[in-house]
Structure 1
Amino acid sequence: MDSTALFDCLSDLSCIVTQTSTGLISGALLFLVAAGLTLIFGVLRVINFGHGSLYMLGAYIALSAYRVSGSFTIATLSAALGVGLFGLAFERLIMRRVYNADVLMQLLVCYALILILDDVVKIVWGAEFQSMGMPEYFQAPPLFIGGGIVPVFYLFLIIAAFLIALVLWYVLTKTHMGKVVRAAAHNPTMTSVLGLNTNWIYAGVFAFGGALAGLAGALAAPVRSMSPGVGFSILIESFIVTVIGGMGSVSGALVGALLIGLIRSFGSIGFPLFVEGIMFIAMALILVLKPSGLLGKEPRP
């Protein structure tokens, strides 16, 4: 514990700006992963334990696409589309068969996905650490705000995450498609009676959740190294975010992700050896005060 260093940082504007930007970028990436995770749970009532592996797959697809095309835009779109299609195939071929099975069976299926994708990555891309590097058009001088340093790519990631959150909110609450998805989540039997194919609604939600995870992996590729198994660490944090924000709440995932990002950023200064513990303590306190999460709905009696 180094309370002096934390106090010094909180009394220095430049340190506050730098650590806040670092926390926001972590929160932005966590949100993209957790949004897909919570969306899948909210509609399908399935805890996709293999979601972190989709993030890893997106990072590697982006790496290959970037090496071939030299375009970060193409790499990002390729990762989102590729992982989305993979998620669709996984849901249609395997996951839909265990929707009504025991939770343990669902977890075993998802854990099998983790092991398989880790080995596939080792075969295709190798077991060593790899890095994309910063795309050329983001290699610009950083911004100086209040004496703090904010890289251009950090600003891009933060803005992109908030725009995606806004689009998700609009689609889910203001469009016909969003109403159909919410209806399928609330009462799938009635939705089927009305002539809507809930099976394909589920498949579309699963694919879209996977695409969000792939997009997060692609956006993280320039600033984080890649290796087999890298998806597991972000999976744990994504579950924390999902629980804190409220299971099934996309807006809660955003709030929870930003909170965890800031806790990790500032906690690394004051509690460098206990950052993970702080995140779990924060989760426990929130669940004690509000068991459904910050923006989760209370269960019906």
Structure 2
Amino acid sequence: MHASPLFAGAVARLLCRVDEALGRPAALDFVDMAAGRGELAAGVLAALPVDVAARTRAYAVEVAGRPEGLDHRIEWRAEPPHGMTGLLFANEWLDNVPMEVAEVDATGVARRVLVRDDGTERLGEPVEGAEAEWLARWWPLPGEEGLRAEIGLPRDTAWASAVAALDSGLAVAADYAHTVDARPPFGTLTGFREGRETPPVPDGSCDITAHVALDACAAAHSARCAPDHTPPGALMRPQREALRALGVTGARPPLALASTHPAAYVRALAGASQAAELIAPGGLGGLGDFVWLLQPVGPVDAAALLVDVPDHEEQ
């Protein structure tokens, strides 16, 4: 769904708004982090106005090899290039960055959770150093036995490194997330096999993921830029709100269109169904879990980018 033309069109609109905010530079960069098979990058290029597409340099960042048949305009890379001007978009990337899990033992001490290949767990050494400092700041654990936390320090580092590739523009992390005022008491670590949730057994049989402390990621970037660790202009918005501001409404087409242009009505109805799924409460667009972090770099006002789309802008 996230590589659908509807989603790609919304990201293309965001790129166009970044372009305007930057004064329409001669070269505009778009980076798709954890690009999979490059579907989002290709969809964004296809959705851009011709004049913007002509100035856009598109990059797909992925550890796997370049897929056959990908648009030749997309450069395939293992890491994002540096010195970019434009939009870096990381869709469900950070939740797959590995991190440590801590659990409070019977004496009230937070210890690492060690896992064997068969999924059997035991508690290891106490959490210390930078990881203990991270827990104290971002996921405080009361001394109640069994409480868990996922130490997001590697995600913070990965995000700060990705944002540092931008000289000017906007970085967006779209992911399942939570904030320090509402951390889940037992964590979110889980596995997925063929689209179904399964115990997170580290034997290669499933994908292991955990929600992201996006507020910590935002502050990790700002630590490089501001001594008080306050994210400079960073915003966190539910995907529902962000996509609606970018023209994804889920509104059904007028019924009269079914009589005058049946094929167009069917296409519009399918698009409305996709939009409804993207912005549905409790789903990917819901207020509880799936969130966009918008982190500006340079003279970009993230809040100004998320405004209602005029009718003539809608695609």
TM-score by length of 1: 0.25
Pick 1 or 2: higher relative contact order, CA cutoff 8 A, min separation 6. Answer: 1
Point out the structure with max Rg over C-alpha: 2
Higher strand proportion: 2
Higher relative helix content: 1
> Normalising by the residue count of structure 2, what TM-score does the alignment of the two structures yield?
0.24
